[in-house]
Amino acid sequence: MPIFQINVSVILQMAVHRNQFKTTQPAAGRITPEKFLSGFPPTTQALAQRLRELIKQTVPNCIEKVYPGWRLLGYRVLIKNKSHYFCFIAPLPDGVVLGFEYGIFISDPEGLLQGEGKQVRQLTVKSQKGIRSRKFAAFIKEAAELAALPKRELVRKQLANETAAIPHSSC
């Protein structure tokens, strides 16, 4: 018989409380997005700021967090007390990357999204003129919706994509 018993519901409640606290108040020592961006050239800061505004306008209740190790700003959408990562802004010396966690599934008939991996797709923006607000907002909205899907739906979509990519030979 174990000396102590782990109460999973208490641990989950603690985790939810901790995550809610993180989203409402910056902890002492946590880097702010403004501070993070201050290390980049002014043009990069302006591009990142415009994209930050667009993300927040498109997904008003999103959670913004600096990931200094990855050198990016990450965005999460909160669904039923659980946050789901959906996009990021990665500043560069000469521009900004706007990336989407489940970008492979985003509708992109113009072929604007870049990337070769199994999941993530991104846009590289070098100037204010390169920000196509309506198109980018549509990508952001769809990315948030995809992130909120149950994992089984994403797996189903991924399997469908992989099956479609397999060349079929005729006998």
| CA distance linking residue 21 with residue 38, whole number of Å | 25
Is the distance from CB of 100 to CB of 139 less than 8 angstroms?
yes
- The domain defined by 32-163 folds into Aspartate Aminotransferase, domain 1 (3.90.1150)
Composition of the chain by helix, strand, coil, percent to 5: 45, 20, 35
pLDDT value of residue 80? 84
**pTM of model > 0.85:** no
Q: What is the pLDDT along the chain (171 residues), one digit of tens a residue?
A: 444 343 333 333 434 433 443 434 455 568 999 999 999 999 999 999 999 999 999 999 999 999 999 999 999 998 888 899 999 999 999 999 999 999 999 999 999 999 998 899 999 999 999 999 999 999 999 999 999 988 777 777 766 766 665 565 554
